[in-house]
């Protein structure tokens, strides 16, 4: 997962290590470790980076596999905000009036007050997409009938 904040490109590794890509010289890009994963946090099923109000958040997504139904269900989230002064993640319980929309390669936030019915919560639509459809990794995406449908009022981002 990559995210751009203040003209810098950040990424998160599978285990939760935050890195920054130094792209000043395109022939010699440098990856700098900014913060290691949270030692007290179990490995999540998925990780997301979200920018909100100029702050960088890491969302740990936990779930269980329901083998008989060939899908995962979400059990919980843990959310941390990165403190650039301390170079460490801090736990959060409130998104300052914003809703987080998380997905594979595309996570963002909006003020919850802009859409009726949206709350200070996490929303996502791709919870079950990572089940392999074919053996040996030949995955072509979910069948059309299993694509999630997200219906929202028009969203205006300024």
1 within some domain: no
* Burial of 49 from C-beta contacts in 10 A (0-12 / 13-18 / 19+): buried
Q: Tell me, yes or no, whether 62 lies in a domain.
A: yes
In a domain, residue 35? The reply is no
Decide if 112 is inside a domain: yes
Question: How many domains does the chain fold into?
Answer: 1
pTM, 2 dp:
0.69
Q: How confident is the model at residue 1 (pLDDT cuts 50, 70, 90)?
A: low
* Alpha-carbon span 57 to 46, nearest angstrom: 14
Task: List, for residues 9-19, the tens digit of each pLDDT value.
Answer: 887 777 778 88
* 116 inside domain: yes
Place of tokens 């810098």: 8
| 141 bridge partner residues | none
Of 82, 61, 70, the C-alpha closest to 11 is 82
- Per the structure, the complete domain to which residue 68 belongs is given by 43-146
33-51 confidence digits (pLDDT tens): 888 876 667 766 778 888 8
**Which residue has tokens 């007050």?**
113
| H or E stretch at 68 | none
pLDDT tier for residue 126 given thresholds of 50, 70 and 90: low
């Amino acid at each position: 997962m990559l995210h751009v904040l203040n003209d810098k490109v950040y990424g998160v590794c599978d285990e939760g290590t935050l890195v920054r890509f130094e792209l000043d010289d395109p022939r010699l890009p440098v990856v700098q470790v900014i913060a290691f994963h949270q030692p007290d946090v179990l490995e999540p099923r998925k990780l997301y980076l979200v920018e909100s109000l100029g702050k960088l958040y890491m969302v740990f997504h936990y779930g269980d596999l329901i083998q008989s139904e060939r899908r995962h269900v979400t059990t919980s989230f843990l959310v941390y905000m990165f403190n650039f002064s301390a170079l460490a993640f801090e736990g959060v319980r409130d998104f300052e009036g914003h809703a987080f929309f998380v997905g594979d390669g595309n996570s963002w936030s909006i003020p919850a007050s802009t859409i009726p019915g949206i709350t200070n919560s996490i929303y996502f639509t791709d919870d079950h997409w990572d089940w392999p459809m074919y053996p040996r990794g030949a995955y072509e995406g979910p069948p059309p009938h299993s694509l999630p449908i997200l219906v929202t009022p028009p969203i205006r981002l300024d």
